[in-house]
Amino acid sequence: MIKKGMTRQIVLHYFLVVFLTILLVEMVFLFAIRTYYYDGISNYLQSSFDNTNAPTNPRDLISTYTLDKAEVQVLDLKGNVIQNSTPFRLDKPIQTGDIPQALTGSTGRWIGKQAGTGEDVMAVTRMIQINGDKSYLVRYVTSLELVNQKLFYITLVSTGIGIIILIVVLIVSVGLANSIVKPINNIINVSTLMAKGDFNVRIKGNYPHEIGDLASTLNYMADEIVQSNQVKDDFISSISHELRTPLTGIKGWSETLVSGGFDPEETKLGMSIISKETDRLIGLVEEMLDFSKLQQNQMKLVMGEVNMKELLQETMLNVWAKAEQKHISLSLQPGERPFIVYADGNRLKQVFLNLVDNAIKFSPDGSTIALMITEMAPDKVRISVKDPGIGISPEFLEKVKDRFFQVNPNQGGTGLGLAITQQIVKLHEGEMHIESELDQGTTVSVDLPLLDNQQQAG
Amino acid sequence: MLAVAGLLFLLSGCSFNPLSDPKTLIQTPELPSDKQTLSSVISAELPEGASIQSPKSGNTSRIQTVDLDGDGTSETIVFYQTTNGRINGMIFEQSGDTWVKQLDINGAGFTLESVEITDITGDGRRNLLVGYSNDTAGSENTQKTLVVYDYNNGKLTKETDIPYSYYETIDMDGDGINNLTTMTMNSNPDYVSVTVYNYNNGFKKLDSIDLNNIVSAYNVVAGKVSPDQNGIIMDQALGKSGFSHLFIMRNGRLEDAFQLSRQATWKDLQIVSEDINNDGILEIGMLEIPAGWENIAPVETPMFTNYYQWSGSGFLEKLVSQQYRDEEGRFVIKIASDWMEKITLDTKSNKDKDLRFVLKDTGEKVAEVRFFSENEWNNHNGDWEIIAENRGQVIALWENNKVNIIQN
C-alpha cells in the first residue's frame, strides 16, 4: 500500500476521477445496450406486424403471424386467448399492460414477469382487423432470458474492462504522482539540510515548471545566504580592523605619555591624536548605532522645515577640509527658487554628508563634485551629487545600498553608509537612485517630497 | 472516452460477438412447471419419430386437458402421427404433480380432422369425438370418419364411427341433450345426406334428409337460429355465388327450412352465415342492390349486405343488420337499425373512390366514405374520420351528425 502522503492523495484523486468517469460511461453504455436489445426485439416483432397482411379468416391468424421462436397468441378484445402457438390452451385472460395499449390502436409493449413461471418476458401486441370488421389482438411473447444473459455478459465484460482500465490508470498515476512527489521530496531533503545550516548543498536536477522554479528559488536563496554570510564576515573583519587602528594609536600614545619625559608640545600632539582617534571610534560606533536603530525602526525624526540650499551649503562647509586635501572643488547649483522640505535637518545633512564624502573618497585629485537641486514635479525636488570618480560596475550597482556591502572590503569603512542613507531617505518618503559607469563617475540622486506650496506660502 | 473506446475495441475483438442481432435472441418463453412436466411426460411416451398433431379444424390445441370422465381429476388427450403416417392418440391421467399414461388410442386415418370434447350421450360424462380422414391433400370434401369415444374408469370405449363431411353436436330435437348431426357429401350423383342421431344405448338415427345437387359447402355453422330453435346453417357454394340451407327439427322431423333455398337465399357472393350482431342467434347474409342501381352493370354496383334471422317461414324476412362491406375487406359500414332499408347509395358512387350514402326518399346525402391519397389527405378539410389506412391510401368517413345513420 502506498504510504500516506501526496503520492497517495494524487493516486486517489486520479482513481476517483477515473472511477467516476468509467462508472458513468458504463452506466450510459449499459443502458444504451439494454435499450438497443429491447428495442431491437420489439421493433423486430413490430415489423412482423407491419410486413404481414391480415388474413381473411381469423382461423389463419396464428399461421399468418407465426414467427420463428416467439410465441404467438390470438386474443379477443377482452384478453381471452383464442389460439396460441404452444400446444396448450391458456385458460386465463391476459391482463398485462400491452393489451390496453393495443386496444387504443397502437402497438402495445410490455416487459415483465410471466405469470406462472416468473420468467422475464416481453410482449408486443397489436390489434388486427379481419376484413375491416372483427378485431383480434395478436400478441407476440418472447423470453428475455437470452437477452438478459447477454446483457449480464456484457456487463461483466465491461466491468472487467473498467477494472483493467482502473488498474492501468492507477499504475500510470503512481508514476505521475512520483514525477511530482520525487522532486518535492528531493527539495524537502535539501531544504532540511539548509535549515540545519548547510548552505553549500544545492538542489540538483532539471525539473520543469513550478517545481523547477521552486528548486531554483531555493538554490538562489542558499546563494544569497552564503553571500550575506560572506558580507557579514567581511564586515566583522573590516570593522575589527577599523576599530583596532584607532585603538592602536590611542594605546601607543597613551603608553608613550605614561612613560613621561615629554615636552608639553609633544604631550599636546599625543593627546590630540588620542582625542582624534577616539572621535573616529565614536563616529564608527554612532554609525553602527544609527544603523541598528534604523533596522529596528527606532529612529526618531525631529521634523521641521528645511531649506535644501542652506542644508547643502552647510554640508559643503563641513567637508571643505577633506576636499581641500585632495584638491577637489565642490560646486552647488541651487536652482531657481528655494526648495523647502519637511524633514529632520540633521538626518538629511547626514545623508548628504555621506554622499559627498563618498564622492570625495572615490574621486581623483583635482576633480570637481557637482551638487544640483532640480525641481522634478510640482511637489518633488531632486538633489544630485555627481562625481567623476571610479564609478561602480553594473554587477555591484544593486548591492551598494545593501548593508555591510563594500565593493572593496579592504578599503576601510563599515559598509553601512549607503544603507543608512537609503533608510533615512526612505523615512522621508523619498527615493534614492544611483547611476554609475565604471571609470566615468557616479551620480546619486535623492528625490524628496516638497512641502506643500500653499503651506509654504502660509 | 478511453473507456468506451476500450470497451468497443475489446468487445469487437471477442470471438463471441456480443453485439449480435437482437432478433436472434428471441426465445419462446418457458412453459409453467406443470405444463413442462406434462410436456416431458408426453415426449417420453411419444413413439420415436412421431409428431404431435393439431386438429385441422375446431379447437386446434395440440394438447387438451379436461376432466373427461367427470371424476374430478383431469385427463390430457394428445394425438400424434407415427412415422408411417397413422394418427394415434394417448390419454394421460393426472397423478399428484405428474401425469401417467392411461392408454393408447388407435386412430382411424392419416389426418386428424378434429377433436371435440363434449357430452353427446347425455350421461354427464364428456365424450371424445375425433374426426379422421385419409386425406393428405387438404381438400374439403374428402370422406371423413367420426369416431365417438366414451372414457370411463380408465377405459376407452368406442361408441360408434360414422362417415361424414361435416358434423355438429347441438341439441336438434329439443330434449336438452346434444344430438350428433352429420352431413355427408356424396358424388355421382351429387347429393348430401343430413342425418340426426340421438343416443340411447348406441347412436340411433332420428331422421335424415337428402339434398340433391350439392357439391360443396363453404361454411357450416350450428346454434340458435331463432330465440327458441336450434339449427344448422350450411352455406353452399355454386361457382362464386352461394345459397344457404337451414336444417331444423320440427315435430320430430328434420327439414330444410327454406323449401326453395336457392331462390330464397341466393347471393352473388359467398357470404358466411354467422352471428353477426352478437345476439346469440345466427344470421344469414344476403346481398342487396341499392335502390337506383338496378340497371347498372353488377360489377360496378356497390352492394349492401343484409343479415337476416330466420323468422319461421320459408323466406328471409327479419332483417337485423344492414351493412356495406368493402369487397376487399378494408372496412365495414353498419347502418343503424332505425335507418335500415331507408338508405341507398348515390349512383355516382364508385366502390373504390367515393361512396355516398343518401336517404332513399329525399336523396339527401347523410354519409360518405371517400378514398384519399396521402397527398389529398394531408390537404383535406371537413370532418372526416379515418376508418382504414393502407399503403398510402386513407379511407375516411364523413357523417351527417344530425341524422347518424351509421351504427357505431
Q: Which chain B residues contact residue A29 at CB under 8 A?
A: 4, 7
Respond yes or no on whether ipTM tops 0.90.
Answer: no
pLDDT of residue B15: 42
Whether A273 has a pLDDT exceeding 90, the answer reads: no
CB A63, CB A50: distance < 8 Å: no
* Distinct helix (H) and strand (E) counts, chain A: 11, 12
How do residues A55-85 score in pLDDT, each as one tens digit?
Answer: 888 888 888 888 888 899 999 988 888 888 8
CB B403 within 8 A of CB B336: no
Q: Which cell is B71 given?
A: 371424476
Whether the CB of B134 is below 8 Å from some CB of chain A: the reply is no
Residue-averaged pLDDT of chain B: 86
**Of A19-33, A362-376, A395-409, B266-280, minimum mean pLDDT range:** A395-409
User: What is the number of alpha carbons within 13 Å of residue B315 lying toward its C-beta?
Assistant: 2
CA distances from A19 to A152, A164, B5 (A): 20, 11, 16
Nearest to B3 among A87, A154, A165 (CB): A165
Does B3 contact A at CB distance below 8 Å?
yes
Task: Give the largest CA-CA distance in chain B.
Answer: 90
Residue B325 DSSP symbol: E
**Which residues have C-beta within 8 Å of that of residue B70, sequence separation ≥ 6?**
B124, B125, B126
Strand B203-212 relative to strand A441-449: parallel, antiparallel, unpaired? unpaired
| Lowest mean pLDDT, pick from A151-165, B11-25, B67-81, B198-212 | B11-25
Residue A149 exposure: Cα atoms within 13 Å on the Cβ side: 9
pLDDT of residue A164: 92
Pairwise CA distance, residues B201 & B182, whole Å: 19
Q: Which of B10, B14, B26, B307 is the best substitution to test chain A (most A C-beta atoms within 10 A)?
A: B26
Q: Which residue of A has its CA nearest to B329?
A: A131
A interface test, pick of B28, B63, B269, B389 with most A CB neighbours within 10 Å: B28
Q: Would an 8 Å CB–CB cutoff place B272 in contact with chain A?
A: no
**Looking at the partner chain, which of A83, A119, A165 has a beta carbon nearest the beta carbon of B2?**
A165
| pLDDT on residue B13 | 45
- Contact predicate B247/B194, CB 8 Å: yes
- Our CA dihedral for A443, A446, A452, A458, rounded to 10 degrees, sits at -80
pLDDT band at A411 (very low <50, low <70, confident <90, very high): low
pLDDT in tens, B199-253: 888 889 999 999 887 778 889 999 999 998 999 999 988 888 999 999 999 888 9
d(CA A193, CA A184): 14
> How far is C-alpha A382 from the chain's CA centre?
38
Confidence (pLDDT) at B11: 52
Q: Which of A109, A114, A96 is nearest to A39 (CA)?
A: A109
| Mean pLDDT along residues A424-453 | 86
Does the pLDDT at position B76 exceed 80?
yes
Give per-residue pLDDT as tens, B337-396.
Answer: 888 888 899 888 888 888 999 998 888 888 999 999 888 888 888 888 888 887 788 999
What is the C-alpha to C-alpha distance for residues A303 and B38, in angstroms, rounded to an integer?
119
B298-343 confidence digits (pLDDT tens): 888 899 999 999 988 888 889 999 999 888 888 899 998 888 888 8
Count CA within 13 A, CB hemisphere, residue B109: 22
Contacts of A133 in chain B (CB under 8 A): 325, 329, 332
What average pLDDT does the segment B99-126 reach?
89
Is the CB of A119 less than 8 angstroms away from the CB of B29? Answer: yes
Out of A41, A83, A132, name the one closest to residue B60 (CB): A83
Res A458: pLDDT = 38
> Which set of grid coordinates corresponds to residue B76?
390430457
Query: Distance between CA atoms of B116 and B181, rounded to whole angstroms?
Result: 14
- DSSP summary character for residue B341: T
- Displacement of CA B133 from its chain's centroid (Å): 20
Say whether pLDDT at A454 is over 50: no
Q: How far is CA A349 from the centre of its chain?
A: 44
Residue range A34-43: mean pLDDT, rounded = 91
The answer to whether B329 contacts chain A (CB < 8 Å) is: yes
Confidence of residue A112 (pLDDT cuts 50, 70, 90): very high
Coil vs helix vs strand at A183: helix
Question: Taking CA atoms, what residue in B is nearest to A36?
Answer: B22
C-alpha cell at B37: 412436466
Q: Is B157 near chain A, with CB under 8 Å? A: no
**pLDDT over 50 at B14, yes or no:** no
Give the pLDDT confidence of A298-323 residue by residue, as tens digits. Answer: 778 888 888 888 888 888 888 888 88
Contact assignment for B27 to A69 by CB distance below 8 Å: yes
For residue B342, give the C-alpha cell: 331507408
Which helix (H) or strand (E) element contains residue A375? strand A368-377
Buried/exposed code over B230-263 (b: 16+ C-beta within 10 A; e: otherwise): bbbbbbbbbeeebbbbbbbbeeeebebbbeebee
Tell me, what amino acid is at A355? L
Residue A127, strand partner residues: A137
Per-residue pLDDT at A209 exceeds 90:
no
DSSP string of B75-137, one letter each residue: EEEEEEE-TTS-EEEEEEEEETTEEEEEEEEE-SSSEEEEEEEE--SSSSSPEEEEEEE---S
Q: In this predicted structure, what is the pLDDT of residue B3?
A: 54
A71, closest residue in chain B (CA to CA): B28
A–B CB contacts, 8 A cutoff, strictly below: 123
Q: Which residue of B has its CA nearest to A158?
A: B7
Q: Confidence class of residue A404 from pLDDT cuts 50, 70 and 90?
A: low
Given a cut of 90, whether residue A365 has pLDDT beyond it is no
- pLDDT score recorded for residue B147: 93
Q: What are the backbone dihedrals phi and psi of residue B250, each rounded to the nearest 5 degrees, phi first?
A: -125, 125
- B-chain CB neighbours of A22 within 8 Å are 3
Among A47, A51, A154, A161, the strongest candidate for a mutation testing the B interface, having the largest count of B CBs within 10 A, is A161
Contact assignment for A87 to B61 by CB distance below 8 Å? yes
Say if the Cβ atoms of B30 and A67 lie within 8 Å.
Answer: no
| pLDDT for B8 beyond 70 | no
Rg (Cα) of chain B, in Å, rounded?
28
pLDDT band at B197 (very low <50, low <70, confident <90, very high): very high
SS3 B192: strand
Residue A406 DSSP SS3: coil
